[in-house]
């Protein structure tokens, strides 16, 4: 079980934020103000009974709180947690609003408590409200999105997210997680690769169980390249949400994996090609106070548009990872065209029909690509538009310039 009192600590956020400042990344970000999630937001995922019960926790005695907590698994209720949990979910929603309205291209919400273990009527595994599940429902409802992809790279299975969407084909949930043939927390049968979703949602729940610890960069990249990305391209999401837990990085006491923090630059970069770049990452786990901030910085720097560092020591996936990978591909073969030949040997039939295809749609170049401040006396380069400091420029253009400048720190 998770040992929450010693690892899910406030320092997780402070060291992450300090690292963003120290690496010059915080300055390049647009800060999005936080808000509390409303009852209506929370009820998108949670039951009224559960919300009402959590609402009472700030007024409970410590003894009552302890008893209240005992009905759930591996979670602790502090008198402040209802307030913090509302802010955590609200932060995810503010990020969704900022991305969906084009105020920012993408972003990351650094929040506590995490959310992906929380269920409709139960807190679980440090989680009170399911921040990312609420964000997905909110995005669908407010912006009419047809398809949302949730990528859960935390080392634990976000069973709360799975339960929320397992019969829902509009939300594709992908999770890899330490499993060890059901010996690792939360030790659920339904975390295995053959839980593919139910009814209309069959095929829209992808579980990749890690049956050994010590998984490395090659293992993570293989699963992205051979499972997640082909399916994600076929799914064609309108928005990508990431359950961004960094307990899957090296040094974490929970995960015991060996992937280096820079792998998150690659994972992030690969996801930025989907949904027109609309990506919201929301912090989940991550308990090593050295590798957590490093991983957060790798993710944020990539979201800002910097190229990913060259990956080192890619020596191919290990046998256990390959076995999991093949099991997942086979389990999903019937749902996704890109996997229909998974596990099948032999020649493919070649189509003899004449091929026709539509002209590729026109790609419109955004009016302003980058903004920079030129030193005095330097001429404006060709293809650039110049604005004087005192000039009455179109406020819409000025606004766009400000956002682009904020995004690239030019
Ligand atoms: Zn975790």
pLDDT in tens, 104-162: 999 999 999 999 999 999 999 999 999 999 999 999 999 999 999 999 999 999 999 99
CA angle (194, 196, 197) in 5-degree steps: 140
Q: Which has more pLDDT, 75 or 254? A: 254
Q: Per-residue pLDDT tens for 81-102? A: 999 999 999 999 999 999 999 9
- Rounded distance, CA 275 to CA 148, Å? 9
Q: Is 256 exposed, middle or buried (0-12, 13-18, 19+ CB in 10 A)?
A: middle
The alpha carbon of 361 and the centre of ligand 1 are apart by a number of angstroms equal to: 41
Please report the pLDDT score of residue 380 as a whole number. 80
Cα 395 to averaged position of ligand 1 atoms, centre (Å) = 44
We find that the CATH architecture of domain 4-339 is: 3-Layer(aba) Sandwich (3.40)
The alpha carbon of 246 and the centre of ligand 1 are apart by a number of angstroms equal to: 7
Confidence tier at 409 by pLDDT (50, 70, 90): very low
| Residue-level pLDDT at 404 | 56
Q: What is the pLDDT of residue 352?
A: 67
Ligand 1 mean position to 244 CA, how many Å?
9
Report CA-CA distances (Å) from 384 to 105, 288, 367, 368. Answer: 22, 46, 10, 9
Give the model confidence (pLDDT) of 191-212 as tens digits. Answer: 999 999 999 999 999 999 999 9
Measure 167 CA to ligand 1 centroid, in angstroms. Answer: 24
pLDDT recorded at residue 346: 53
Percent of the chain with pLDDT over 90: 78
Residue 74 scores a pLDDT above 90 = no
391 pLDDT exceeds 80? Answer: no
Q: Which residues are catalytic?
A: 117
Q: Ligand 1: distance of its center to the CA of 389 in Å?
A: 49
Give, to the nearest 10 degrees, the angle between helix 81-100 and helix 131-143: 40
| Predicted confidence (pLDDT) at residue 327 exceeds the cutoff of 50 | yes
pLDDT in tens, 223-253: 999 999 999 999 999 999 999 999 999 999 9
CB atoms within 10 A of CB 230: 18
Greatest extent of the chain over all pairs of C-alpha atoms, in Å: 75
pLDDT at residue 252, rounded to an integer: 97
| Cα 228 to averaged position of ligand 1 atoms, centre (Å) | 19
Query: Ligand 1 centroid vs 177 CA: distance in angstroms?
Result: 9
Residue 198 and residue 66: Cα distance in Å, rounded? 36
Mean pLDDT in residue range 159-170:
98
Q: How many CA atoms lie within 13 A of 151 on its CB side?
A: 28
- What string of H, E and C letters represents the secondary structure of the chain? CCCHHHHCCCHHHHHHHHHHHHCCCHHHCCCCCCCCCCHHHHCCCCCHHHHHHHHCHHHCCHHHHHHHHHCCECCCCCCCHHHHHHHHHHHHHHHHHHHHCCCCCEEEECCCCCCCCCECCECECCECCCHHHHHHHHHHHHHCCCCEEEEECCCCCCHHHHHHHCCCCCEEEEEEEECCCCCCCCCCHHHCCCCCCCHHHCCCEEEEEECCCCCCHHHHHHHHHHHHHHHHHHHCCCEEEEEECCCCECCCCCCCCCECCCHHHHHHHHHCCCHHHCEEEEECCCCCCCHHHHHHHHHHHHHCCCCCCCCCCCCCCCHHHHHHHHHHHHHCCCCCHHHCCCCCCCCCCCCCCCCCCCCCCCCCCCCCCCCCCCCCCCCCCCCCCCCCCCCCCCHHHHHHHHHHHHHHCC
d(CA 289, CA 25): 18
What backbone torsions phi and psi does residue 91 show, to the nearest 5 degrees? -65, -40
Neighbour count for residue 58 (Cβ, 10 Å): 14
In the numeric block, which tokens belong to residue 224? 């992205």
Task: Round to whole Å and give the CA distance between 290 and 189.
Answer: 33
More confident: 239 or 403: 239
Cα distance between residue 277 and residue 331, in whole Å = 29
Distance 267 CA to ligand 1 centre (A): 17
Query: Within 13 A of 332's CA, how many CA atoms are on the CB side?
Result: 32
Q: Where in the chain is the domain with CATH 3.40.800.20?
A: 4-339
pLDDT category, 410, cuts 50, 70, 90? Answer: very low
The mean pLDDT of the chain is 91
Residue 287's pLDDT band (cuts 50, 70, 90): very high
Question: Cα–Cα distance between 287 and 293 in angstroms, integer?
Answer: 10
**Distance, CA of 144 to CA of 92 (rounded, Å):** 17
For the ranges 347-361, 368-382, 384-398, the lowest mean pLDDT is seen at 384-398
**What separation in Å is there between the alpha carbon of 131 and the centre of ligand 1?**
14
């Amino acid at each position: 079980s998770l040992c929450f009192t010693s690892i899910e600590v406030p320092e997780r956020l402070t060291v992450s934020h300090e690292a963003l400042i120290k690496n010059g990344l915080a300055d390049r970000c647009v800060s999005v103000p936080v808000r509390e999630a409303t009852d209506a937001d929370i009820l998108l995922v949670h039951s009224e009974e559960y919300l009402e019960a959590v609402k009472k926790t700030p007024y409970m005695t410590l003894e009552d709180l302890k008893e209240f907590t005992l009905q759930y698994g591996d979670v602790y209720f502090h008198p402040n947690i209802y307030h913090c949990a509302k802010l955590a979910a609200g932060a995810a929603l503010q990020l969704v609003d900022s991305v969906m309205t084009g105020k920012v291209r993408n972003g990351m919400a650094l929040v506590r408590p995490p959310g992906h273990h929380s269920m409709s009527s139960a807190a679980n595994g440090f989680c009170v409200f399911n921040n990312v599940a609420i964000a997905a429902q909110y995005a669908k409802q407010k912006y009419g999105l047809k398809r949302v992809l949730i990528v859960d790279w935390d080392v634990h299975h976000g069973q709360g997210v799975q339960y929320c969407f397992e019969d829902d084909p509009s939300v594709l949930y992908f999770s890899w997680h330490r499993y060890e043939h059901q010996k690792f927390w939360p030790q659920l049968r339904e975390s295995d690769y053959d839980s593919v979703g139910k009814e209309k949602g069959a095929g829209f729940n992808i579980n990749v169980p890690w049956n050994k610890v010590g998984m490395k960069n090659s293992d993570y990249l293989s699963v992205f390249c051979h499972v997640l990305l082909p399916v994600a391209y076929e799914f064609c999401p309108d928005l990508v949400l990431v359950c961004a837990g960094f307990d899957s990085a090296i040094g974490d006491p929970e995960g015991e994996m060996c992937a280096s923090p820079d792998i998150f630059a690659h994972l992030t970069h690969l996801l930025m090609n989907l949904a027109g770049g609309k990506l919201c990452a929301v912090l989940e786990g991550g308990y090593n106070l050295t590798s957590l901030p490093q991983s957060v910085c790798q993710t944020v720097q990539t979201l800002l548009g910097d190229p990913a560092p060259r990956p080192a020591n890619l020596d191919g996936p290990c046998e256990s990872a390959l076995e999991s990978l093949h099991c997942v591909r086979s389990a999903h073969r019937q749902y996704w065209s890109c996997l229909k030949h998974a596990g099948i040997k032999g020649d493919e039939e070649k189509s003899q029909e004449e091929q026709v295809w539509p002209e590729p749609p026109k790609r419109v170049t955004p009016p302003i690509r980058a903004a920079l401040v030129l030193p005095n006396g330097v001429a404006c380069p060709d293809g650039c538009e110049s604005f004087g400091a005192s000039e009455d420029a179109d406020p819409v253009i000025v606004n766009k310039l400000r956002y682009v400048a904020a995004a690239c720190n030019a």
